[in-house]
Amino acid sequence: MLRARALWLAVAAASLVPALPGQPARVFQAQSSSTINASKAADGAQLIEVRNVTYELATNVPGRPPAEFLVLRKTTRSKETVGDIGVEASVMLEAWRFGDDLRQKPIYTISATGTDGHRMDNAIFIVSRGLEEVEWWSVYKLGNGQHLFDTYVPLVSFSISKEILTTRYAGLEVPPDDTSDARLKQPNVVGVLTYASQDRVLREALLTCDDPKRAAQFRSFADEERALSMLEGPPAAAAASTKAKPREPSRTLKLSFSESYPSPPNTAEVQSPLQGDDLDLAHAKLPAGMHAAAWRR
C-alpha cells in the first residue's frame, strides 16, 4: 500500500478575502487525505485504488449573495484493474459558505459516477461521466448543485452578446438503450439538443428521423461520431446608418454526425440558428428525413 501525504488547507480571510465591514477576519483550517492503494486480486490481477481531495474558493457565483464566497471540496475515487477496459469511479463536490465550519453539513453535495469534475465560468460544475468507451458529461449549477442537463458531446459555451457577457451553453443528449424516459425509446429518436443559461434550460429540441435504421445509426455510440459547435456570421442586416448601434453577428449551432472509421464518414449536419435568446427551430437546416421540434421533459 502506498499512502500519499495528507492534504492540508489553511485559509486566512485576511490574505484571501477582505473582511466585510464590521466583521472580524475569518480564519479556519481543514484537513483531508489523498491516498493510493496498490494490491493484488485473487486471480493475480493488479488493482489500483486512488482517492484525491482538492479545495477551491469560488467567488461571484450566480444564485448566491454577491458578497458570499463558497469553499468547494472535490473528492474523486477510482478503482481499476490494470490492463482492463473501464474503471469504477465517482466524483463528489461539497460546498460550504466561506467561514462555516467544514465539519458541518455542506449547503449542497453533488455525487455522481465519473472520472473527474471541474467548474466553468464560476457558474456550473461539469462531471466527466464516461467510465468505459462512451464519453459523456453532466452539468450542474455551481450555486446550488442542481442538475441542469447531460451531453454526449463536449459542452459548447458562448456569449450571445458582444457588449455584455451573456453566457449560454449547448449540448446533445443521445439516449442510451436503458433510458428511463419512454419517449426517448422510440425507434425514430436521434437525440435532444439542449440550449441553456447558467441557471436553467431555455430550450430542448427533439431530433427525430423518418428512417428508424438511420436514427439508430445516428444514436450509435460505437459506429457514429458527433460534434457540436457555434458558428458566427455577419449580422442579418446592415445598420441603417453609421450612427446606428452595431448589430450582433448571426449565430448558428452546428451539429454534425459522421460514421466511424473504417466506414466513409457520410457526414450529416443540423444547423439551428439563434433568434434572440432561443433556438430558431422554424429555420433550422436538417438532413432529408430529419426533424427538430420543441420538447420538454
Which pLDDT does position 30 carry in this prediction? 72
Looking at the structure, tell me whether residues 271 and 227 fall in a common domain. yes
Q: Is residue 278 assigned to a domain?
A: yes
Looking at the structure, tell me whether residues 55 and 7 fall in a common domain. yes
Mean pLDDT by 10 residues, the chain (297 residues): 40 41 56 86 87 94 91 94 83 95 94 96 95 91 97 96 93 93 96 97 98 97 96 72 67 97 95 96 96 95
Q: Is residue 5 assigned to a domain?
A: yes
Q: Is residue 138 assigned to a domain?
A: no
Looking at the structure, tell me whether residues 120 and 157 fall in a common domain. no
Looking at the structure, tell me whether residues 155 and 124 fall in a common domain. no
Looking at the structure, tell me whether residues 119 and 171 fall in a common domain. no
Looking at the structure, tell me whether residues 117 and 157 fall in a common domain. no
Torsion of Cα atoms, 187 then 189 then 191 then 192, to 10°: -140
Neighbours of 61 (CB within 10 A): 22
Looking at the structure, tell me whether residues 212 and 254 fall in a common domain. yes
Q: Is residue 141 assigned to a domain?
A: no
Residue 185 lies in domain: 146-297
Q: Is residue 136 assigned to a domain?
A: no
pTM of the model: 0.85
Looking at the structure, tell me whether residues 267 and 214 fall in a common domain. yes
Q: Is residue 169 assigned to a domain?
A: yes
Q: Of the residues 96, 128, 160, which one is the last residue of a structural domain?
A: 128
Distance separating the N- and C-terminal Cα atoms of the chain: 47
Looking at the structure, tell me whether residues 279 and 165 fall in a common domain. yes
Q: Is residue 137 assigned to a domain?
A: no
Counted domains in the chain: 2
Which pLDDT does position 15 carry in this prediction? 37
Q: Is residue 134 assigned to a domain?
A: no
Q: Of the residues 94, 128, 162, which one is the last residue of a structural domain?
A: 128
Phi and psi at 30, nearest 5°, equal -135, 150
Looking at the structure, tell me whether residues 61 and 192 fall in a common domain. no
Looking at the structure, tell me whether residues 33 and 162 fall in a common domain. no
Q: Of the residues 80, 97, 128, which one is the last residue of a structural domain?
A: 128
Looking at the structure, tell me whether residues 124 and 266 fall in a common domain. no
